[in-house]
Amino acid sequence: MARSLNDNKLVEPEKFGRFYLRELLNSGGMADIWLVSDERRKNYALRRLKKEFRFNFTARRRFTRGNEILASLSDCQNIVAYVEHGSDFLLMDYVEAENLKLLFARHDPVLTENVAQILIDMAAGLNDVHEGGYMHLDFKPENVLVSRNGAVRLIDFDMAQPLPEKPVKFAKNPGTPGYMAPEQLQRQGIDGRTDIFAFGVAAYELLTNKKPFPGESPGEILAAQLQPDGPIPLRELNRDVPPALEKVVLKCLEREPERRHPFTGVLLRELQNALYV
């Protein structure tokens, strides 16, 4: 219960179905995430479709499909735990965590204190997505939750697509330009190695606090990706990065998909070898 500033009376929190809306945790392009509680005061995270999209049937279909994909992956340790969903909401277990982008912005010490665990958990979560038969296609720091002890949970499967046996083209180009692979930006066929590239961008940022391919537009980002020298080696920006780890991350960022790690399982194994020799 909250108090009104005008009359000092107790004010009932806004309700959504059987849940009380306690705090707005994050607002994205299509949905808001709320901390909510039920009648027993058990906390959950509620992802709610924004009002302006409720009669946008394409957005609702994408939202619902993302919820169904999450439900199919909810037993995975590094993916946020699913509880239930409807046509305009997704209920998840609440974990005290923030997304990686916010932690980057304030140089939170949880990143430096847990960097090895975060990298491995991110790769393990992405591997779970692929093992479950999907590409994430929007892997980026905003979609990686990190708790105060460094545990990782992946979120937001609205853009996910079935993992193909060979690269496929899509009529619409899912993803966020700063984390798109060259084949995505050039509207070519994509497969699981596209997610591996996105992982490489996020890992590079985590380890150097810089983007490997800076640019303000998709064209500028693609031009940086196509430079023959590739990104600045990580150890030139952060001498604490082990050479073996630098090699793993730079392999993720290869321009040609054939030169990247072929599968997320291989990436995960190589990371473990580089970090826990």
- CATH number, domain containing residue 264: 1.10.510.10
The reply to whether 228 and 259 lie within a common domain is yes
Sequence-separated (6 or more) residues with CB below 8 Å from residue 50: 30, 31, 32
User: Considering the domain boundaries, does residue 2 fall inside one?
Assistant: no
The reply to whether 265 and 201 lie within a common domain is yes
User: Considering the domain boundaries, does residue 4 fall inside one?
Assistant: no
The reply to whether 196 and 165 lie within a common domain is yes
> Which stretches of the chain drop beneath a pLDDT of 50?
1-5, 8-10
pLDDT at position 19: 92
| Neighbouring C-beta atoms of residue 149, cutoff 10 Å | 11
The reply to whether 120 and 58 lie within a common domain is no
Per the structure, the count of domains in the chain is 2
Structure tokens at 109: 């010490």
Nearest to 89 by CA among 36, 53, 48: 48
The reply to whether 89 and 101 lie within a common domain is no
The reply to whether 110 and 241 lie within a common domain is yes
Report the DSSP beta bridge partners of residue 91: 46, 84
Strands (E), the chain: 2-3, 10-11, 15-16, 19-27, 31-37, 43-49, 82-85, 89-93, 97-99, 134-135, 144-147, 152-154, 161-162
Residue identified by tokens 């020298």 is 229
The reply to whether 214 and 263 lie within a common domain is yes
Say if CB 212 and CB 231 are below 8 A apart. Answer: yes
Angle at which helices 192-208 and 243-252 pack, to 10 degrees? 140
Using the 8-state DSSP alphabet, how is residue 190 labeled?
B
* Domain finish residue from 39, 67, 93: 93
Query: Could you list the active site residues?
Result: 138
| Neighbouring C-beta atoms of residue 259, cutoff 10 Å | 12
Give the chain's length: 277
Round to the nearest angstrom and report the end-to-end CA distance of the chain.
Answer: 52
* Domain finish residue from 54, 70, 93: 93
pLDDT at position 5: 43
* Domain finish residue from 51, 72, 93: 93
The reply to whether 199 and 230 lie within a common domain is yes
User: Considering the domain boundaries, does residue 1 fall inside one?
Assistant: no
Q: Is 31 helix (H, G, I), strand (E, B) or coil?
A: strand
The reply to whether 196 and 209 lie within a common domain is yes
| Exposure b/e, 95-118, CB count within 10 A at least 16 = b | eebbbbeebeeeeeebbeebbbeb
Report the DSSP beta bridge partners of residue 146: 98, 152
Residue identified by tokens 């906390």 is 43
User: Considering the domain boundaries, does residue 79 fall inside one?
Assistant: yes
Domain range spanning residue 234?
A: 97-275
Say if CB 260 and CB 249 are below 8 A apart. Answer: no
The reply to whether 246 and 145 lie within a common domain is yes
CA atoms within 13 A on the CB side of 109: 0
Distance CA 125, CA 64 (A): 21
CATH number of the domain within which 39 lies: 3.30.200.20
pLDDT at position 191: 96
Q: Please give the share of the chain, as a percent, with pLDDT higher than 90.
A: 71
The reply to whether 77 and 124 lie within a common domain is no
The reply to whether 101 and 212 lie within a common domain is yes
The answer, as to whether pTM is greater than 0.85, is yes
Distance CA 173, CA 186 (A): 10
Sequence-separated (6 or more) residues with CB below 8 Å from residue 21: 13, 14, 15, 34, 35, 36, 46
